[in-house]
Chain A
């Protein structure tokens, strides 16, 4: 188990955003967290990233407790989040965005290698490296956001709604890239509203509803689960 989230609850003031939820991520896996708006998916990721502190429960990374560790120390450990809505630094150029991704990396040589790796994966970013990030199209921005995450050399990549606002073709491209990244040994925790796409590439999945985990299991089983089909896959039966 590379990541173990054990019984965490998170409150925003008086509102319980998460209630005693637990999930795990094994080495090399893709795990999907699916659910509607406000189910607590992003809250879960932000808690893992150290941006939010749970009131109860703990988060473990490779067996050590990281519940009260600062966000930057968590980045240093190799848990990298690609936030919802891409959150590109709009006024900074593409390469400066990538440079920010490698903020915690000290070794210039490693950074150079990562640039090459990232530019090879996303040739468009290389073409546009001197352009302000805000001038890229939505799809390019999502690629930049993922590339920026890769610059840190993640062991665990937390992806928050990478399909948001993208056309179906682009979504497919992004999901191909996610699978590729996973094949190179990065474990991925994927938060999605697009349950069908997410479960199609995931090994396992968890279904969140109003701060609770209501279903969990192998991705294939969830894809055929009647509750999931009714609630998140538009009621169509896949069999």
Chain B
């Protein structure tokens, strides 16, 4: 009874666990500073840069395979997917900032949001609205239907995030850092299978309202050829940016945001200021979940297909984006997401490789960031205390 370790903070008795992770981190740091890595880094850097320059030269100067129209198309699709990555990446970064763990089930939280959007649109389509000709709720009030679908998707994912933390991570708050990570992977597999059993393994088509028909869009003529600026894409991109800006203001300017940052910096002192640390962590998961939910609904609207595995790849890509920008760093996740979307979309063309290798390209970026700059583009080197 009354064991002080049941409290939200780590009393000194738990230090041995912390020390273990500390030595692991130190070993990693020692490895990164080792002679082998010191030698490997510049060699690898030169080889990779030479290869990239060589390929870019071949594609852009020698062959000139693609015109400006193709590049614009690729840029557009890169920005759209990048916005979605950013939204999901924010969830990784917020949770990492406050708990120093990677929430590997975050992609699944997004997947449930995508399903919520899918079923909302289905339901709206069934509700009949009398008129001439008779129509349905989805097309009679498309804007309201879209707003409702997003609210439902965000609520479902926020709830998932809340319970995910409560069930899978909170009981392990005092455990060594590897333990919640394994729990996260377990939660991810569990949620995928739960979704498969609940919604069947079938791929589902999302029914968009007519004003957001997939494939339709504004046409711009570049180089004498038509480039389509899809409605769904523009909608997705603008909404992502609005949500990102909203989140940034929330974290920077609001009282909740300050409490979140204070909790991330120092839980014990935050508690001494009267911050309820547990509820702040819960709220962080709720916010992350809501953003992932919005990303899921967007994914459904723009890509059109939803199935139980739909969150996995975007989840891992967004994790890559968060690492690329500097995990724990909010603007980093935003920039990282957009950058990854663009690289993934334009990279294969620019390097003259198969378009199907775009995933390989993303994960190569992850490996290179971890090798050359583990703190990411905008991240700072972690202090001893945080490690």
Binding site for B on A (CB under 8 A): 10-13, 15, 17, 49, 51-55, 70-72, 75-76, 80-81, 83, 87, 89-92, 96, 99-101, 103-104, 148, 152
Contact = CB atoms under 8 A, between A and B. Distances in A.
Contact of A51 (B2, B7, B265, B273): B7
Contacts of B270: 100
Interface string B271-311: 11111100000000000000000000000000000000000
Interface in B1-44: 1-9, 11-13
Contacts of B7: 51-53
B271 A51 contact: yes
Given A75-B272, A75-B274, A103 B255 contact: yes
Nearest to A68: B2
Contacts of A152: 273-274
Q: Give the dominant DSSP class at B's interface.
A: helix
A72 B276 CA distance: 6
Contacts of B272: 49, 51, 71, 75, 80-81, 83, 87
Contacts of A54: 2
A11 B7 CA distance: 13
Given A12-B11, A13-B13, A52-B11, A103 B273 contact: yes
A10 B3 CA distance: 9
Nearest to A97: B262
A87 B266 contact: yes
**Range of interface residues on chain B?**
20 to 34
Nearest to B9: A51
Interface string B235-249: 000000000000000
B213 interface: no
B265 A83 contact: no
A99 B257 CA distance: 12
A71 B8 CA distance: 10
A91 B265 contact: yes
B166 interface: no
A74 to B, nearest CB: 8
A56 B106 CA distance: 42
Given A53-B2, A152-B274, A90 B269 contact: no
A78 to B, nearest CB: 11
A12 B174 CA distance: 14
Given A10-B4, A51-B7, A89-B266, A15 B274 contact: no
A141 to B, nearest CB: 12
A17 to B, nearest CB: 8
Contacts of B5: 13
Given A87-B269, A152-B274, A99 B13 contact: no
25 contacts: A11-B3, A11-B4, A12-B4, A12-B11, A12-B12, A51-B7, A51-B268, A51-B271, A52-B11, A70-B276, A71-B274, A72-B274, A72-B276, A87-B268, A87-B272, A91-B265, A92-B262, A92-B265, A96-B258, A99-B255, A100-B259, A100-B270, A103-B255, A103-B259, A104-B274
Nearest to A145: B269
Given A12-B11, A72-B275, A90-B265, A53 B258 contact: no
B170 interface: no
Nearest to A105: B274
Contacts of B266: 87, 89
